[in-house]
């Protein structure tokens, strides 16, 4: 959520220096939390058996998409403008948040019934 919030701050503040600083802080904090979740969530969801294989596949997909992201964002800025590109980026982040919440909700254990 911090990364999406940072993008929205950048969109709202433009080239105002305090807005850029707030964006950088939100992006850094969100990125740090993301790196922790990328390592711990697969272990929690899938266990330690095959952990390396699963995280390797996830990393390959993430790196491939991450390599193309600057080109896609540059093309979006060229064709749509900066504001619409940032809004699209924030929307993609919101989709990621919804997916994360859905995964978390599907993994919750029902409370043990007490008799």
Residue 61 lies in a domain: no
pLDDT on residue 110: 59
pLDDT on residue 68: 96
Residue 9 lies in a domain: yes
Q: Average pLDDT of 15-30?
A: 95
pLDDT on residue 103: 83
Residue 63 lies in a domain: no
Residue 66 lies in a domain: no
Domain count, the chain: 1
Residue 114 lies in a domain: no
Residue 58 lies in a domain: no
Per residue in 46-77, pLDDT (tens digit) is: 888 889 998 999 999 999 999 999 999 999 99
pLDDT on residue 39: 86
Instruction: Give yes or no for residue 7 having a pLDDT over 90.
Output: yes
Percentage of the chain beyond pLDDT 70 is: 93
Residue 115 lies in a domain: no
Which among 8, 59, 5, 9 has a CA at the least distance from the CA of 30? 5
In which domain, by residue range, is 31 found?
Answer: 1-47
Q: Average pLDDT of 13-30?
A: 95
Looking from the CA of 110 toward its CB, the CA atoms found within 13 Å total 3
pLDDT on residue 101: 87
Cα–Cα distance for residue pair 61/54, rounded to 1 Å: 11
């Amino acid at each position: 959520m911090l990364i999406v919030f940072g993008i929205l701050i950048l969109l709202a503040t433009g080239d105002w220096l305090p807005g850029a600083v707030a964006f950088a802080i939100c992006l850094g904090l969100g990125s740090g939390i993301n790196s922790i979740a990328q390592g711990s969530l697969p272990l929690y969801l899938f266990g330690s058996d095959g952990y390396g294989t699963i995280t390797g596949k996830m990393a390959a997909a993430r790196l491939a998409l991450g390599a193309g992201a600057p080109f896609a964002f540059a093309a979006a800025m060229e064709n749509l403008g900066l504001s619409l590109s940032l809004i699209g980026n924030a929307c993609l982040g919101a989709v990621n948040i919804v997916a994360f919440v859905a995964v978390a909700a599907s993994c919750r254990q029902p409370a043990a019934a007490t008799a």
